[in-house]
Structure formats: C-alpha cells, structure tokens
Chain A
Amino acid sequence: MSKAMLRHADAQTIPISFTVNGRQQELTVEPHELLLDVVRERLGLTGAKRSCDVQVCGACTLLVDGRPVSACTTLAFEVRDRSVMTIEGLADGGKLHPLQEAFIEYGGFQCGFCTPGMILAAKALLDENPNPSEDELKHFMHGNICRCTGYKKIIESIMAAAKKMRAGH
C-alpha cells in the first residue's frame, strides 16, 4: 500500500515495569520504541551497541529473563514484567564476572565493540550448558560477529571462563 495513504498514527503510551540489572524501572514507552534506544538513551546504559540493525551481528545483545535477544529489533514494551541484563550489570560490585576476567586474560577482544554482546551471549550459553564442547559453543555464538580479529581468542576466553565457573570461582 502506498505510504501516502497512511495517516500519522496518534501517539500511544504504554506504562511498563521491569528490572534492569536487578533494579526496578518504571517507564512509559511508545509502541515503536526499541529496547536498544530505551536502554542507551533513556537509561544511559551504552554497553549494548547498534551495529547491523538487522539481528545478524549480535552487538546489541541483551539478556531478557536470561536469554539473548537483539535489542535493536525488540520493541521496548515487550520487556514489561521481565528482567533485563546489560553488560553493566554483570560485574558483582567491583568484582568482574569470570567471563570478563577471561576475556581480559586471554585477549578475547580488540576494538571491543562486539564484546558486550559476546560476553552476554556466552553467559546465556554457560547458564544453560556449563560444560559446552567447542562445537556447541561455536553453534551458540554463531550469531555474534567480531569484525576485528577473529574468533580463536574469543573461544579460548569462553572455554577458560566455563572451566573456572565449573570449578566454582
């Protein structure tokens, strides 16, 4: 249908209540607002990045109820009554998460743009499968793209973190 036929839709607001990194948030959003914009612009949490904008690259990955989603293509109202985790919520106070430590120790990043998404996707994987094979890891992480350097050190980082987490550190 031609775009000219469309009236400009009237503004509609949806009150939503959800948690971000464990903290309760009450916001009012419009239906077309994207989770990525709400998190970055309204909550000031800029760890998640807009990159491909079509759910291919994983730079905008956030965890909703522990599962990875593309925040660039998630309508913000969809997180009502749910829990959202961003990379900013991963460290426990001043103590880095084992995945964060491993990415530093094993050099799992270069420019860092994909890193928040990589680490959150890896967290979702290890939460459901604490002892993944390298093939399982590659399959799960297939939708997270690093455009700098390659994947060897990212895989090493995640495998090292998995081992550490299994040992209870």
Chain B
Amino acid sequence: MLRRFRMEEPESVKDVSELLGQYGESAKVYAGGTELLLAMKEGLVQYERLINVKNIRGLNDVTSENGSIHIGALCTHHQLETSPLLHENLPALVKLEQNVANVRVRQVGTLGGNLCFAEPHADPGTLLMALGAKMVAEKSTSKREIPAEAFFVDAYETSIEADEVLTEIRVPVPDSKSGVAYLKFGYLERPSVGVAIALRLNGGGKSIHDATIAVGCAGPAPKRVLEAEELIKGTSIDEAGAKILKAGEIAGHAADAISDLHGSQEYKEHIVGVLLKRAFQNALSQC
C-alpha cells in the first residue's frame, strides 16, 4: 500500500531541477517507478511529492554521435533490448538488457532510473563502467559529464547533486579489435555477482592493448579494478590467459563483497574470479 503523495509533471529538465531545488528531500524524481515504488510500498522511503519526468521530450532516444552512442535516460530496458543501433554497436549491452529482471520490469523500468537508484544488485552500472560510459547530469544552470567510476558512490548513492537530473548516458563504441562481455550469477531474483570486461587487442591481434574490468552486485556499488587491468594489459594473449585467475582474485577482493542472503563474502569473491575468467574468454573470442 502506498501512502498519499502529490505528483508534479514538469515538461523540461529546467523545471525538474527547480522543483528539486524547491522541495529538497521531500521530493523525488519518478520515471519507471520499478525501484522507487517498491521502496515506498515497503515504507523504506517516503516522499511528499514525486516529480514525473516522463513528459519531458527528447530523453528517450538512442542516437549515434562521433563514435559514441547517446542513450536518453528515459529509455526503457525494453527499448534498449530492441534498439537496432545498440544491436549494431553495443551487443553486450543488448544482451544485458535482455536479461534485466523480467519482461514487465523491462517494459517500464528506465536505464536512467536504474542508475540513479543505485540499487547494488543491478546490472547496467558494471558494464557501463567497463565500457567507459559517461553520465550527463543537468540542472537549471549547468550541464556536466560524470565518468561512470565517479558516478557510483555507495549503495543507493550517486554523485548526482540534489537538483541535478541524469539526462543521457554516453557510451563510446568499441572498435573492431575489441571484445566486451558482462556475465552475472545469482539464484535469487536479482544478480549476486556481476563482472564486466572490455578488451582491445593491439594491431597484430597478438597482445592485449587495453583492458577495462569492473565488478558489481557483490558489494555496495560497481567498481573498476585497475590493478587487475594492469596485470593483463600489454601482455600476450597467452600470458593474459594465464594471469586472468590472479586478476580474478584481485577483482574478488576489490569487489568489497559482503556476506548476505546472496552468499558469503568468500563465495562471492570466488564467483567474481570464475566469471572474470569466462568473461575474458568470451570477450577475446569477439576480438
């Protein structure tokens, strides 16, 4: 059961930002509602008013600009899993979106809402981090890009300011020598562990030119693991294959895994390693 609240329905980002400034913590942005309404029904959070952002035009398109894919924050998971532009340019993100929750959540849940709610057991943040995505945050007077690494602060906490609105997610398109994979594991409704890797081979295709690794779900927020990346960067493919177990161990520790209903800390750390090895092989096979 939901308690009574008021609904504001502004039609511009500027108006949303002003409403957020005016009402402060008693108001919250409402998009798909798939996370927010659950928390409100459980009585975990309560707001005097919600600000419906779905009447704002231009925030639910997927476009290609200068080698990047720009995803409007209001794009639903369903829109993304069926977007031809994403199928062509970011197949790993399509696969992730096809497996978010279930068909009803994907129908209304938005990518922007998913990221802003920052529920630890969510998929997109981890892959977006490995892809080097940037989040565009706007308010009445300014607009800035936040790298994915700086976006997630803690469980349910992002670096979006109180009167800022996430409007777009910008994802660089990996080149033809690249491979990207996101793998998750879980036996409950939400994933227990998620691991993403983006690899780029050198010109000859014999060694790892660049690698980006991120882990999520196991701890409070998605996290990039530079130390694991450094281990395989610049090495030959065979060498990287031999070192990936060690990289997995490092990533497991870096995940800040906590023991909970999804499993013990040790268990999750182990799964991070297993998934990273598989994700590495998967990404390599695409290069």
Contacts and interface: CB of A to CB of B under 8 A. Distances in A.
Interface of A: 1, 3, 5-12, 14, 30-34, 53-56, 58, 61, 67-70, 73-75, 77, 121, 124, 139-140, 142-144
Nearest to B30: A75
A81 to B, nearest CB: 12
Contacts of A55: 34, 38, 101-102, 104-105
Interface of B: 2-7, 25-26, 33-34, 37-38, 41, 46-50, 78, 98, 101-105, 107-108, 189
B107 A14 contact: no
A6 B103 contact: no
Contacts of B46: 3, 6
Nearest to B3: A32
A142 B189 CA distance: 11
Q: Identify which of B3, B37, B41, B105 gathers the most chain A CB atoms within 10 Å of its CB.
A: B37
Contacts of B108: 69, 74
A46 to B, nearest CB: 18
B107 A68 contact: yes
A139 B108 CA distance: 18
Contact of B33 (A1, A33, A73): A73
Contacts of A140: 103
A11 B48 CA distance: 11
Contact of B6 (A10, A61, A142): A10
A75 B37 contact: yes
Contact of A14 (B5, B7, B38, B103): B7
B48 A6 contact: yes
A167 B173 CA distance: 44
Contacts of A58: 102, 104
B6 A143 contact: no
Contact of A73 (B34, B78, B103): B34
Q: Which 8 A-B pairs have the closest CB atoms?
A: A143-B102, A31-B7, A32-B2, A70-B104, A1-B25, A12-B6, A9-B48, A73-B37
A55 B107 CA distance: 12
Nearest to A3: B46
A12 B78 CA distance: 31
Nearest to A32: B2
A142 B38 contact: no
Contacts of B49: 9
Given A14-B7, A32-B4, A142 B37 contact: no
Given A1-B25, A31-B6, A73-B34, A56 B102 contact: yes
A75 B9 CA distance: 14
Nearest to A121: B103
Nearest to B49: A9
A7 B47 CA distance: 9
Given A3-B46, A69-B108, A143-B103, A8 B4 contact: yes
Nearest to B45: A1
A54 B37 CA distance: 9
B99 to A, nearest CB: 8
A53 B41 contact: yes
Contacts of A5: 26
Nearest to B98: A139
Contacts of B6: 9-10, 12, 31
A10 B107 CA distance: 31
A9 B104 contact: no
B104 A69 contact: yes
The listed residue with most A CB atoms (<10 A of its CB), out of B48, B103, B189, is B103
A32 B34 contact: no
